Chains A and B, each alone.
Chain A
Amino acid sequence: MMSEQLIKVLSDVETALSEAELAEIDAELAHVPTPSGAAIDALKIVQAHRGWVSDESLKAIASYLDMSAAELDGIATFYTLIFRRPVGDKVILLCNSVTCWMKGCDGLQQQITDQLGIGLGETTADNKYTLLPMTCLGACDKAPVMMVGDDLHEDVTEQSLQAMFHDAGGKQ
């Protein structure tokens, strides 16, 4: 009985990745000498399809790459841009390195919290935004800067921030 359950669990794991995900992971596997070499790429591929990497996704990737889930989780949790918890449609990456700090990023963080009702690491109730701190974004001549989704915003001010999230519902 146990073994049948186990077989069912294992087969669920094997089939948990979509054909599109498997095709993209296979393309990465062609470049690496061992399957585990594609671990980060595979995590990013699955995240691109699903928004984040759940325990089930992680186990499925680990199984496909012939790794233990624990080993893969050690890799997934190391990298700041692999999300092991659900995130909003757009992730806000607020630079809080030293030049942006001098130019007032802490004030911007407070304003985001006031406007969207979220602190660092939190997601709005409507699932639109997640706020994360980020290492120097490499645009220090335009500090303070932040990314919202794929877009870089430079010389951010109280006014521009207000406009950026004007459609957000304020505090949840």
Chain B
Amino acid sequence: MSLDRPLTRNVRPDKSPTDMAAYEANGGYQGLRAAMGKLSPGDCLQIIKDSNLRGRGGAGFPTGMKWSFVPMDNPSGGHKYLICNADEMEPGTFKDRLLMECDPHQLIEGMILSAYTIQADVAYIFIRAEYLLAADLLRQAIAECHAKGYLGKNILGTDYNLEIHVHASAGRYICGEETALINALEGKRANPRAKPPFPQVSGLWGRPTIVNNVETLCNIHHIIERGADWFQSLGLTTDAGTKMYGVSGRVKKPGCWELPIGTTVREILEEYAGGMEDGYQMRGFLPGGGSTDFLVEEHLDLAMDYDTIGKAGSRMGTGTMIILDDKTCPVGFVKNLVEFFSRESCGFCTPCRDGLPWSAQVLDDIEHGRGLPEDLDTLARQVGFIGAMGNTHCALAPGAMEPLASGLKYFREDFERHISAGECHFSNSKTGGAG
């Protein structure tokens, strides 16, 4: 059993799923067996706090701290909920699919222990509708757990009860935002909610609710089984654990790998992704999905962890990098992203609903040679208005502005040349039918 790559230890070369027998044969559900009846919810919470696990969905919020806001006294005896956010839709992100398709029981075991820690009695896996295989495997895993006494009433002979339901979404990127997700689970339009109240206190159906990403939850039973010190020792920098890193774009071997958190961008790009395809140079990269700021060559030797990438002016986000190469138009690249965010805006907040289509239109004008010099000022103003935290309920709008703001910074000459020349100077510009 590989202790330094816990999340992918059951991932086979052919990516075939690990069933209950194979999972248990490799030590699966030992964490659950070790904890139930022996560790109190408070003990588990302390281990997770001490481990310094940070949310792998993109925000990097400390998981133990998030959980600690859930009220543990429950005089009314009402439900508390754990929700697994499996609505993987961030452009360029393909890590949770791998974890769920290859090792569904790892997620279930993590969820049982997480739910136990916050004393939730009902849990949901909110999964995007397109992940049909993962949803089937998870339903099957849940049924296997009921048969084994790992789910249902009196889990492993204790007085703890838990049901897990798989809930397939009906589409829309915004459902990945935790309060929007809660509204979607309640059968409503997925508009994010104003905070406070935070879901930990008043979430699904007004009850205490924790929403965690798939990768975050997959870590939990490993940490509880092996301890906070072990988890801390896996990281190369101040962050703890491993991270599912990915690379897509014009690299020789696009893919997704579990590596110690804090591995450098260069190592991920050159050693794991095999470097750029022949004939392509890297111009920049989004470190963790479509809503993160560009970084460039000078950042290649930075450690991929939350704080280091944050200090460089971006975010580690989901940890799955998208590479901008020298034969792809940066204006077109940014336009694709802003059009995406414009389409996916829930439409509730004015800066997002109206500002994103406006920005997309300006970018379309520039890309197709209709741009004016003052358009760059317009875009900069939009970045200030749409990108400011606090102008909108949720982070979709600020996230949408990250590739635009940083694109204007690092690739300004490309924007200016489009405007002065009145055309896109990339010969294989993939502007599609819009032009």
Contact = CB atoms under 8 A, between A and B. Distances in A.
Given A97-B290, A143-B254, A135 B249 contact: no
Nearest to A67: B187
A80 B172 contact: yes
Contact of B170 (A43, A98, A106): A43
A140 B93 contact: yes
A57 B34 CA distance: 51
Given A74-B189, A101-B430, A147 B130 contact: yes
Contacts of B188: 36, 39, 75
A85 interface: no
Contacts of B170: 40, 43-44, 79-82
Interface string B63-79: 00000000000000000
B432 A109 contact: yes
A98 B430 contact: no
Interface in A13-43: 31-33, 36-41, 43
A136 B290 contact: yes
B230 interface: no
Contacts of B431: 106
A20 B288 CA distance: 44
Contact of A140 (B129, B132, B248): B248
A86 interface: no
A167 B190 CA distance: 39
Contacts of B340: 97-98, 135
A135 B248 contact: no
A121 to B, nearest CB: 13
Interface in A68-109: 74-75, 78-82, 93, 96-99, 101-102, 104, 106-107, 109
Interface in B317-354: 320, 322, 325, 328, 332-333, 336-337, 340, 344, 346
A139 B187 contact: no
Given A93-B130, A102-B250, A135-B173, A140 B322 contact: yes
A97 B205 CA distance: 33
A137 interface: yes
A135 B288 CA distance: 16
Interface residues of A, number: 43
A102 B130 contact: no
B41 interface: no
A4 interface: no
A104 B249 CA distance: 11
Interface string B150-179: 000000000000000100111111000000
Given A98-B290, A102-B333, A138-B94, A78 B205 contact: no
B91 A97 contact: yes
A74 B191 CA distance: 12
Contacts of A143: 248, 254
A136 B91 contact: yes
Contacts of A141: 94, 246-248, 254-256
B18 to A, nearest CB: 20
B417 to A, nearest CB: 20
Contacts of A147: 130
A110 interface: yes
A26 B88 CA distance: 29
Interface string B180-191: 000010111110
Contacts of A168: none
Contacts of B132: 150
Nearest to A97: B91
Contacts, number: 128
A138 B322 CA distance: 13
Nearest to A120: B433
A142 B249 CA distance: 10
The residue in B92, B97, B187, B247 that gathers the most chain A C-beta atoms within 10 A of its C-beta is B187
Contacts of B248: 99, 140-141, 143
Contact of B432 (A99, A106, A134): A106
A36 B132 CA distance: 25
B307 interface: no
Nearest to B191: A78
A135 B97 contact: no
B89 interface: yes
A104 B97 contact: no
B258 interface: no
A33 to B, nearest CB: 6
Contacts of A107: 430
B90 interface: yes
A136 B249 contact: no
Nearest to A147: B130
B367 interface: no
Contact of A136 (B90, B172, B189, B250): B90
B109 interface: no
A147 B433 CA distance: 21
Given A97-B91, A97-B290, A138-B130, 9 more contacts: A37-B205, A44-B168, A75-B189, A78-B172, A81-B171, A82-B170, A102-B249, A102-B328, A140-B248
Interface of B: 88-94, 96-97, 128-132, 165, 168-173, 184, 186-190, 205, 246-250, 254-256, 290, 320, 322, 325, 328, 332-333, 336-337, 340, 344, 346, 430-433
17 contacts: A36-B187, A75-B188, A75-B189, A78-B189, A78-B190, A78-B346, A80-B171, A81-B171, A82-B170, A97-B92, A101-B333, A102-B249, A102-B333, A134-B130, A136-B90, A137-B130, A138-B94
